[in-house]
Amino acid sequence: MEITDLITPDSIIANLRVSSKKQALQELAKRAAELTGQHERAIFDVLLERERLGTTGVGNGIAIPHGKLASLSGLHGLFARLEEPIDFDSIDDQPVDLVFLLLAPEAAGADHLKALARVSRLLRDRSICEKLRGTSDPEALYTLLAHSQASQAA
């Protein structure tokens, strides 16, 4: 599974201006609804439900909110670089400024887990995260995410 299987240049938000975790999830759900054709409220509800199980703030300023929707036809990703870091109830209590949203069909099973693992591996690379934090250009963000897989595969 490659990052480019999950995101397109249209699924990059370069400067998301939000002040809370809930607002971030609402804005991401809104954008994901536009990209997937799903209902914004359904996406938001799935994300909130997942957060109730435990935070998706994985540490080092990164969050990977995710969920499954029955009516989704395939995996979809959305990357957002936040204008200002926000509290995301992260496991390390650090504010979050990089968010990778992942949505999967209800029956995705192993594909959903593979996608989560792929995103997690990518965002564990501190040099990639520094580069992502260093630009607010959507094309540059997409290029960094898309081409990082080549260096990680080696």
Nearby residues of 13 by Cβ (< 8 Å), 6 or more positions away = 27, 28, 31, 78, 79, 80, 81, 138
Find out whether 104 and 75 touch, Cβ atoms under 8 Å. Answer: yes
- Nearest to residue 50, comparing CAs of 68, 36, 34, 32? 68
Confidence of residue 149 (pLDDT cuts 50, 70, 90): low
Q: Kindly tell me if the per-residue pLDDT of 151 is higher than 50.
A: no
Q: Of these residues, 39, 66, 76, 147, which one is catalytic?
A: 66
pLDDT score for 154 = 38
- Measured CA to CA, the distance from residue 154 to residue 146 in angstroms comes to 15
Nearby residues of 47 by Cβ (< 8 Å), 6 or more positions away = 25, 28, 29, 65, 66, 67, 101
The mean pLDDT of 83-94, rounded to a whole number, is 96
Q: What is the pTM of this model?
A: 0.93
> What does the longest C-alpha to C-alpha distance in the chain come to?
40
pLDDT score for 8 = 93
| CB neighbourhood size of 57 (10 A) | 25
* Per-residue pLDDT reduced to its tens digit, 33-88: 999 999 999 999 999 999 999 999 999 999 999 999 988 989 999 999 999 999 99
User: Which domains, and CATH codes, for the chain?
Assistant: 3-153 (3.40.930.10)
Structure tokens at 77: 């990703």
- Measured CA to CA, the distance from residue 105 to residue 123 in angstroms comes to 23
39 is catalytic: no
Tell me whether strands 96-105 and 62-63 are parallel, antiparallel or unpaired.
Answer: parallel
* Per-residue pLDDT reduced to its tens digit, 105-147: 998 878 888 999 999 999 999 999 999 999 999 999 999 999 8
pLDDT score for 147 = 85
The mean pLDDT of 20-34, rounded to a whole number, is 96
